[in-house]
Amino acid sequence: MHALRRDRLFSATCNARRRLDPEDARVHGGRFGHWLRRLTHLALAAVPCFYYDLIPAWGGRGRAASVLVAVCLGGALLTFEAVRLRYGLLVIGQRGYERARLSGAAWTVASGLVVLLTGELLTRQLARSLAYPVFVTAAVIDPLMGECRRRYGSAVCARVVGLVAALAIWVAGWWLVGTPAPAVVVGAAVAVLAEGPWVAPLDDNGTVILLPWAAALLAVAVIG
């Protein structure tokens, strides 16, 4: 009974903030679609590993190979998104409101491309050290905070859990890949603030990547 009440509170809160009908907020594909959406988020954590470490090693052409793969894959996915919108299609794992507007997945792809390509203007070490925590945080805190809101019906609890997780990720980035210390607290805090319902057509799948990246770059530029 308590679990059902929490689910209803979570759904009502999300729908009120997004001004959506319950049908529009429902994930296409039921429970399978719900967990597919979560797993797709988690897979985002592998992006910097492929871009900065694996693809250059396989291709033998360094950064050029990574850029080529990112642009080709990103372009293909965004082209599919344009076709999907043109015909009003809904893919398993998408929410009802995404039938007629840019999907969260498309926001993720576009934002990820912006981060990776603007990172080419930086030194490889700096870009890599910031991209790892940005992508891993985006991969983890969205499903983590979403499940906290769904289970406990509390946005405050979700924010606290998200902030702890984000800080842990950015501190791990400082320890493992040399993320600059000024970017750690700023990047983690902005990532949590950026996650949540936004006014259409903005989507937190994009803001949770772009805003921490921009904030981390600004912190490094200003503080050093």
pLDDT, tens only, 16-61 = 444 555 556 788 888 888 888 889 989 999 999 999 999 988 856 6
Percent of the chain past pLDDT 70, that is, above it, reads 86
Position 14 scores a pLDDT of 46
Q: pLDDT tens-digit profile of 81-107?
A: 999 999 999 999 888 888 888 998 999
Tokens coding 44: 């985002």
Percent of the chain past pLDDT 90, that is, above it, reads 58
Q: pLDDT tens-digit profile of 154-166?
A: 888 899 999 999 9
Buried b (16+ CB within 10 A) or exposed e, 50-72: ebbeebbeeeeeebebbbebbee
How far CA 134 is from CA of 126, 148, 171, 206, 207, in Å, comes to: 12, 21, 12, 12, 11
Position 4 scores a pLDDT of 42
Closest CA to 139 of 49, 220, 222: 49
Tokens coding 81: 């998104």
Is residue 113 within 8 Å of residue 77, measured between CB atoms? Answer: no
**Local structure of 95: helix, strand or coil:** strand
Tell me which H or E stretch contains 221: helix 204-223
Q: Reply yes or no on whether the pLDDT at 151 is more than 90.
A: no
Position 16 scores a pLDDT of 40
| Residues 53, 71: Cα–Cα separation, whole Å | 17
What average pLDDT does the structure give for the chain? 86
Threshold 0.75, pTM exceeds: yes
Position 21 scores a pLDDT of 57
Is residue 97 within 8 Å of residue 25, measured between CB atoms? Answer: yes
Position 201 scores a pLDDT of 66
Domain boundaries, the chain: 2-223
Q: Reply yes or no on whether the pLDDT at 11 is more than 80.
A: no
| Residues 117, 191: Cα–Cα separation, whole Å | 20
Higher pLDDT residue, 186 or 99?
186
Is residue 70 within 8 Å of residue 113, measured between CB atoms? Answer: yes
Position 30 scores a pLDDT of 84
Q: Own/partner pairs for 165-170, CB < 8 Å, 24+ apart? A: 165/137, 165/140, 165/141, 166/137, 166/140, 166/141, 166/191, 166/192, 169/133, 169/136, 169/137, 169/140, 170/133, 170/137
Amino acid in position 198 = W
Position 199 scores a pLDDT of 59
